[in-house]
Structure 1
């Protein structure tokens, strides 16, 4: 039950930081708004998370170290990375 609560908080924190992400900055740079902005950011962050998960696995990270690394990586990764 505690793990579920931690995962829920982590998901909330991830969404809360979406407005600060490199993907959001790229969407604003492209002058996107509304549904187009939301769609762009969602896809951008999904793609970034996949790349960051792969990189963390290649670094043989696990647990909290992996989660922290992926979170920072996704935040820092833009659409071109």
Structure 2
């Protein structure tokens, strides 16, 4: 029971961090008036850098750092892509297809 509570808390914290980094990176891209490939590249680098910083703050190294960074980037990409799908008013299979491609293009792993 305690393990489940701790795992849930950790996931909520991670999701909150992913949300914050996504909005910060997106705001920076908008501020710089980036679009298209330049925006995608900027967002990917920004999210990766933010995730690596978080991993360093948690003093993670080796496989734990790699795993954390990969999940963090994927979560950030998923959040961004879900928002884009919502903006485009996509639903069902179209939304799933769009989100999957968007996350893959952003450098995240699709689960």
Give the TM-score band, short-chain normalised: 0.5 to 0.7
Q: CA deviation at 1:78?
A: 3.7
Q: 1:54 aligned to 2:83?
A: yes
When Rg is computed on C-alpha atoms for both structures, the one with the higher figure is 2
- The Cα offsets for residues 27-77 of structure 1, whole Å up to 9 and x where unpaired, read as xxx9x8411100000000000000000000000100000001000100111
Unmatched segments (≥5 aa) in structure 2: 1-43, 53-60
Paired with 1:33 and 1:61, the residues of 2 have a C-alpha distance of 39
User: What TM-score do you get using the length of structure 2 for normalisation?
Assistant: 0.41
Alignment of 1:1-81 (within 5 A): 33-78=62-107
Q: What's the C-alpha RMSD, in Å, of the aligned pairs? A: 2.9
Other-structure match for 1:14: none
Moved over 3 A (4+): none
Unmatched segments (≥5 aa) in structure 1: 1-21
> Looking at both structures, which has the greater relative contact order when contacts are Cα pairs under 8 Å and sequence separation is at least 6?
1
User: What TM-score do you get using the length of structure 1 for normalisation?
Assistant: 0.56
